[in-house]
Amino acid sequence: MTKAPIVVHPPLGSGGRRVTVRGEIVGLATSDRDVVEFLRRAGLPDGERLLDDPTWVKWVGGRAHVYDAA
């Protein structure tokens, strides 16, 4: 199994989640909309369809689509 090229990292204490694409930090997301925009900028125009596809996106720490620290 190959590694997902997009990683949404654990929520930060101050809120938001770091997002990396192929190991490069692309931004700090506070919503799915932010993640989709980062993916668009990285050349993936259908980012919204990729968010729940584990072959593309790995959600690390915390629940998927949750951006505030618990």
In a domain, 54, yes or no: yes
Give the Cα separation of 65 and 68 in Å (integer).
10
pLDDT of residue 8: 98
Q: Is residue 65 part of a domain?
A: no
In a domain, 68, yes or no: no
**pLDDT value at position 42?**
93
Give the pTM.
0.92
Question: Does residue 29 sit within a domain?
Answer: yes
Domain that holds residue 15: 6-59
The pLDDT value recorded for residue 10 is 97
Residuewise pLDDT in 10s, the chain (70 residues): 468 899 999 999 999 999 999 999 999 999 999 999 999 999 998 999 999 999 999 999 989 999 998 6
Q: Please report whether residue 67 resides in a domain.
A: no
Residue 53 placed within a domain: yes
